[in-house]
Structure 1
């Protein structure tokens, strides 16, 4: 069975709204654990291009291809998307650092994402149009 949890901040906001509407307070366990330190800011929202975290705005067809050694805003977007809109934290028990550097941790996260959400045949550690499409949801 393949888990396709892609709710991130949107689910937290919806849960908080529902709990607030019921007149109760949200339990401490609802807080997103990936918000500490240099971790993902959990500011991702879903819009016209899909999931967007505020670092790099491009449709999957127009996005740059990223691989080990890449850096910049597109890498921060990639890191934030994986850290904030997937089950990455639940599987690794640590946040994905959003630093704009496509190093070993990011490559490992991309490979995990590809295998988990796209299938084992898609695992190459390179973020091209197909991976961007799946990341954007």
Structure 2
């Protein structure tokens, strides 16, 4: 049982890397509820260059075994996924939100401005279209790194 779980974890990690490199939206294999579920977790996306390494937190859905980037949030949502979105809106879109994990009217309005800037549907809700269009904040993890906003 433990070996199967370890193999599933490794397979999911490999799928995450391959999926992100291919630009697809789903990480691992999540059940059908994942697409309609809130973003209850974050996925750490890493970028590495010769002298720079950074990590971004991307909203995700997880049931503890599987992880999917196909999740949605809207006003009233809360948690780690909202915090990741708020941080990106502040750092990459010039907003001044409290990074408190509560998706309230200020987060909704900031997201609408970012959606308009990226020329996608402006509805103030977060889903796959918004995830793919946003530039995400990459925090440096080395002393030589600097903040960067980049697409997935």
Unaligned stretches of 5+ residues in structure 2: 1-44, 49-53, 62-67, 137-150
* Distance in 2 of aligned mates of 1:56 and 1:47: 17
**Residues 109, 124 of structure 2: 8 Å contact kept:** yes
The unaligned stretches of length 5 or more in structure 1 are 1-44, 90-94
Q: Are 1:79 and 1:106, in contact at CA under 8 Å, matched by a contact in 2?
A: yes
Tell which has more relative contact order, 1 or 2 (C-alpha 8 A, sep 6+). 1
Contact kept in structure 2, 1:75 and 1:100, CA below 8 Å:
yes
Q: Tell me which stretches of 4 or more aligned residues in structure 1 moved more than 2 Å.
A: 45-48, 51-58
Structure number having the greater strand percentage? 2
Cα distance, 1:116 vs structure 2: 1.4
Question: Which residue is equivalent to 2:33?
Answer: none
Match in the other structure for 2:89: 82
Aligned residues: 82
Q: Hey, what's the Cα distance between the residues in 2 that align with 1:52 and 1:108?
A: 26
Question: How far apart are residue 55 of structure 1 and its match?
Answer: 7.0
With normalisation by structure 1, the TM-score equals 0.50
Aligned Cα root-mean-square deviation (Å): 2.9
* 1:65 alignment partner, SS class: coil
**Residues of 2 paired with 1:103 and 1:132: CA distance?**
18
State the Cα distance separating 1:47 from its structure 2 match.
2.3
